[in-house]
């Protein structure tokens, strides 16, 4: 009897020790395809703005640009990434299920974002001088490519009069310095590096501001179907970014340090960055890019509306 009671007590103690604790609150997860630029996602991760909302964001790898990120998300390898508005427009025109949801790159305030350089000793002093010259672009039909095309149109230079060559950002400064190309287009941090490394060799020819003033270029985007099935998680992602943007504005020095840590880029090459208020998508700017691409025939007119490409529906500050 005593032995039986001893065993019963042991069994009860064992049961109490191994009983399943109360299940933790459910957390959503999101895989984010990385592109090493000044990205508020890094700040949101670092400061816990996603975690506060029950969203676990995992950066799953680096890409060479927006189109690669879009393909990764569209194929189900991730739920979010960043891409230029022209890339998102092209993606939606090809029925890829992606939608822009928050700002990451805009020519805004004193931040032109896209800056185009020639050699200081070159004979190119205006866009018209680009006739017969070779111009480097980072990606075909990217925001840089279209900005240059718009600039050439404004200067009365036909597209066929300029030779475009593909060259990733990190190789453009060297190619210009060696005279292999006549003009390059850079964004941060490549601009900061070029200004420091080739200060006396390069001359700024024009910026995006000169072509069309303030414009949004790039947004974070989500897998459309995933966002529809997980609206709370989608909101958590966008709202976390909005909080990060506010934090960056209030703590620029600390933000630079965080960005340097996440990207591996030296802090001295990272300038202060501005974003759209509340990280909003500017649908008028989406319309701007869409109409230009339709006018060129790169997208079938009437095929898409700005609302097909991007939305503020997941931004609680704007949609409440």
Partner 1 sequence: MLNIRWLSFSGFGLLAAVWELVAQVLASPVFPPFSRVLPALWYLAWSGQAWHHTLVSIQHISLGFLWAAISGVSIGIAMTQYRPLALIVTPVVDAVRPVAALTIFPLLILILGVGLWSKTMVIWWTAWPPILLTTVQSVRQVDPFVIEAARLDGAGRRAMLTWIILPLATPGIITGLRIGLGSGWISLVAAEMLGSSAGLGYAILVSSQTFAFPAMYAVIILIALIGLAMNSALAGVQRMVEVQLCVHT
Work out how close the CB of 211 gets to partner 1 at its nearest, in angstroms, rounded to a whole number: 21
**Strand 134-137 relative to strand 163-166: parallel, antiparallel, unpaired?**
parallel
Considering only the stretches 15-23, 38-46, 139-147, 269-277, report the one whose residues sit in contact with partner 1 under the rule CB under 8 A. 139-147
Residue number, 168 or 213, with CB nearest to partner 1? 168
Please check whether residue 41 is in contact with residue 53, taking contact to mean a CB–CB distance below 8 angstroms. no
Q: Least distance to partner 1 from the beta carbon of 222, Å?
A: 15
Question: Helix 283-296 to helix 85-93 angle, to the nearest 10 degrees?
Answer: 60
Q: Which of 305, 86, 129 is nearest to 216 (CA)?
A: 86
| 156, 168, 231, 301: residue in contact with partner 1 (rule CB under 8 A) | 168
Cβ neighbors of 110 (< 8 A, separation 6 or more) are 274
Closest to partner 1 by CB, 81 or 279: 81
Which residue, 306, 274, 289, is CA-closest to 84? 289
Tokens 């990280």 appear where?
Answer: 279
Task: Give the three-state DSSP class for 135.
Answer: strand
SS3 24: coil
User: In the window 141-160, what residues touch partner 1 (CB under 8 A)?
Assistant: 141-142
Q: CB-based contacts of 92: which residues, under 8 Å, 6+ apart? A: 98, 99, 304, 308, 309
One symbol per residue from 295 to 314: x for binding partner 1 (CB under 8 A), - otherwise; what is it? ---x----------------
Binning the chain into helix, strand and coil, the percentages to the nearest 5 are 50, 20, 30
CA distance 182 to 199: 17
**How many positions of this chain bind partner 1 (CB under 8 A)?**
34
Q: Which is nearer to partner 1, 114 or 182 (CB)?
A: 182
Look up residue 25 and give its DSSP letter.
Answer: P
Find the part of the chain contacting partner 1 (CB under 8 A) among 108-116, 138-146, 190-198, 303-311: 138-146
What tokens does 275 get? 């974003």
In angstroms, what is the minimal distance from the CB of 122 to partner 1? 16
For position 294 contacting partner 1 by CB under 8 A, the verdict is no
User: With CB under 8 A as the contact rule, which of the stretches 31-39, 74-82, 191-199, 312-320 interacts with partner 1?
Assistant: 74-82
Out of 36, 51, 54, 65, point to the residue binding partner 1 (CB under 8 A): 65
- 67 touches partner 1 by CB under 8 A: yes
- Interface ranges with partner 1 (CB under 8 A): 65, 67, 70-71, 74-76, 87, 90-91, 93-97, 136, 139-142, 163-168, 170-171, 174-175, 178, 180-181, 298
């Amino acid at each position: 009897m005593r032995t039986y009671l001893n065993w019963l007590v042991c069994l009860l103690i064992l049961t109490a020790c191994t009983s399943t604790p109360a299940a933790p609150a459910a957390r959503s997860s999101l895989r984010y395809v990385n592109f090493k630029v000044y990205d508020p996602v890094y700040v949101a991760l670092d400061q816990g703005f996603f975690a506060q909302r029950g969203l676990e964001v995992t950066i799953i790898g680096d890409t060479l640009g927006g189109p690669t990120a879009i393909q990764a998300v569209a194929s189900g390898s991730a739920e979010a990434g960043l891409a230029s508005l022209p890339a998102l427009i092209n993606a939606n025109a090809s029925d890829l299920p992606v939608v822009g949801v928050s700002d990451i790159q805009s020519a805004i305030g004193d931040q032109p974002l896209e800056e185009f350089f020639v050699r200081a000793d070159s004979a190119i002093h205006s866009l018209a001088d680009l006739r017969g010259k070779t111009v480097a672009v980072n990606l075909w039909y990217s925001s840089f490519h279209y900005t240059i095309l718009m600039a050439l149109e404004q200067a009365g230079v036909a597209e066929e009069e300029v030779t475009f060559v593909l060259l990733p950002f990190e190789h453009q400064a060297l190619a210009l310095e060696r005279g292999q190309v006549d003009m390059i287009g850079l964004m941060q941090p490549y601009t900061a590096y070029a200004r420091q490394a080739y200060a006396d060799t390069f001359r700024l020819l024009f910026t995006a501001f000169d072509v069309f003033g303030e414009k949004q270029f790039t947004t974070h985007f989500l897998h459309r179907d995933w966002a529809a099935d997980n609206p709370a998680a989608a909101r958590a992602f966008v709202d976390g970014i909005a909080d990060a943007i506010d934090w960056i504005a209030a703590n620029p020095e600390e933000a630079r340090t965080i960005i340097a840590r996440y990207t591996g880029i030296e802090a001295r090459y990272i300038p202060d960055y501005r974003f759209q208020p509340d990280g909003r998508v500017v649908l008028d700017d989406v319309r701007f890019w869409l109409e230009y691409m339709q006018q060129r025939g790169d997208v079938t007119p009437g095929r898409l509306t700005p609302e097909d490409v991007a939305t503020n529906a997941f931004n609680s500050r704007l949609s409440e």
